[in-house]
């Protein structure tokens, strides 16, 4: 994957995650990166994990 995924400004609301703690594995790219941004923008406290520090 040479191009980064475009991250939408708005995600469908399913439930309130404000203040919730979320751990995202594979957060350095692809779907993990997208999900990490979604939770963060929705007010969750997000911990990120990836194979390398550079990916984060």
- Tens digit of pLDDT for each residue in 10-44? 766 667 888 889 999 999 889 999 999 989 998 99
* pTM for the whole structure: 0.69
Q: Map out the domains of the chain as residue ranges.
A: 18-56
Q: How far is CA 50 from CA 3, 15, 35, 45, in A?
A: 18, 26, 13, 17
Query: For residues 19 and 47, what is the distance between their CA atoms, to the nearest angstrom?
Result: 13
């Amino acid at each position: 994957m040479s191009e980064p995924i475009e991250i939408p400004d708005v995600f469908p609301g399913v439930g309130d995650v404000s203040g919730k703690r979320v751990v995202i594995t594979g957060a350095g790219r692809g779907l993990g990166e997208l999900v990490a941004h979604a939770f963060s923008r929705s007010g969750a406290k997000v911990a990120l994990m990836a194979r390398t520090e550079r990916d984060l």
